Amino acid sequence: MTKVSVIGSISMDLVTRTNRVPNAGETVFGKDFAMVPGGKGANQAVAFARLSPNEVSMIGAVGKDAFGESILQNFKENAVLFENVGTVPQTTGIAQITLYDDDNRIIIIPGANNEVLPSYLADLWEKIKESHLVILQNEIPHETNLAIAKFCKENAIKVLYNPAPARKTDLEMIDFVDYITPNEHECKELFPNLALEEILKKYSNRLIVTLGSEGVIFHDGETLQKIPAIKAKVVDTTGAGDTFNGAFAFGLTENLSISDSIRLAVVASHLSIQKFGAQGGMPKLSEVKAKLKELEINLY
């Protein structure tokens, strides 16, 4: 059985929907409010688990609070292994999300996620070593990601790295990971002085850039490849990128080509934005297969 480990953030999303964002000093009425499990790491683990019968293990931290308890229960309900999610004195991380005009604005309070330092992994390296694929993001400390990436490189473990949110130190990671999946903004943060086509060619079959409603672009070693997005009635885009990454990882574990893994991930992401919540719209494999059939895309 293929084993996947997701090492990253675990948070509770505090989501407000509004018709418009207030200006400084202004108060506006919102439409509704919800609390739903989130965090890029947790989201990507759930996205993978919804699609795959293979084992996916979450490694991270929550606080000793009601949010942490609720999140652990959510992992259980979604068949994500969570025995390596620790409980720490810090409060569970939160993300304050404002939804408006088919888009979102997000403020992150890392909380317990900042406790996931290299020392936190002292008893988990052997568990990580059992993985066939490790998924990383940027909502835990950079030094932890770098230590994991180097360890995986030394042990021939594939790494999918989603450099979100972008930070200037991320370039250190690139030599140690197999796949890098920034969005267009994050790609510009990583490579501010290079043209997109030049970067994609340099990191062919490794750098996959998501372009929102414009689709996904990568270089296959011979030519630039662009896979279009699928039009949808947007309800909530919050988990679209995380769904893409979880589904792309699933495609890789199914031994699909990079281009076919991207096509599958585009379909999964398309389905995810039609429901509320980062995890609420993440599709099951049967839903993805039905949409692939409808679109006459044959991946299997």
Containing domain of residue 168, as a range? 3-9+40-92+113-294
* 55 in a structural domain: yes
* 78 in a structural domain: yes
Amino acid letter for position 62 = V
Task: Please indicate if the annotation marks 2 as binding a ligand.
Answer: no
Cα–Cα distance for residue pair 14/164, rounded to 1 Å: 19
Cα–Cα distance for residue pair 75/39, rounded to 1 Å: 12
Q: How many domains, in total, are found in the chain?
A: 1
Q: Yes or no: say if 161 and 31 are a contact pair by the CB < 8 Å rule.
A: no
* 123 in a structural domain: yes
* 214 in a structural domain: yes
Q: Which of 177, 173, 180 is nearest to 199 (CA)?
A: 180
* Token pair belonging to 206: 């490794």
* Token pair belonging to 231: 């039009």
Identify whether 260 is a catalytic site residue.
no
* 99 in a structural domain: no
Cα–Cα distance for residue pair 47/31, rounded to 1 Å: 27
* 162 in a structural domain: yes
Amino acid letter for position 124 = L
Strands 209-210 and 216-219, sheet pairing? antiparallel
Cα–Cα distance for residue pair 222/226, rounded to 1 Å: 13
What residues contact 23, with CB distance under 8 A and at least 6 apart?
none
Residue given tokens 């919050």 in the structure block: 238
Under DSSP, is residue 58 helix (H, G, I), strand (E, B) or coil? strand
* 15 in a structural domain: no
Count how many residues are written for the chain. 300
* 31 in a structural domain: no
E strands within the chain? 3-7, 11-17, 32-38, 55-63, 81-88, 93-100, 103-109, 133-136, 158-161, 179-180, 209-210, 216-219, 224-227
Per the confidence metrics, is the pTM higher than 0.85?
yes
CATH number of domain containing 64: 3.40.1190.20
Strands 224-227 and 103-109, sheet pairing? unpaired
Q: Looking at residue 244, what is its pLDDT? A: 98
Task: Please indicate if the annotation marks 13 as binding a ligand.
Answer: yes
E strands within 29-171? 32-38, 55-63, 81-88, 93-100, 103-109, 133-136, 158-161
Q: Looking at residue 245, what is its pLDDT? A: 98
Task: Please indicate if the annotation marks 42 as binding a ligand.
Answer: yes
Task: Please indicate if the annotation marks 236 as binding a ligand.
Answer: yes
Under DSSP, is residue 177 helix (H, G, I), strand (E, B) or coil? coil
Radius of gyration of the chain (CA): 18
Task: Please indicate if the annotation marks 173 as binding a ligand.
Answer: no
Report, as ranges of residue numbers, the positions in the chain whose pLDDT lies below 50: none
Cα–Cα distance for residue pair 91/84, rounded to 1 Å: 18
Task: Please indicate if the annotation marks 98 as binding a ligand.
Answer: no
Residue of 123, 178, 242, 260 marked catalytic: 242
* Token pair belonging to 189: 């943060």
What residues contact 142, with CB distance under 8 A and at least 6 apart?
167, 169, 170, 172
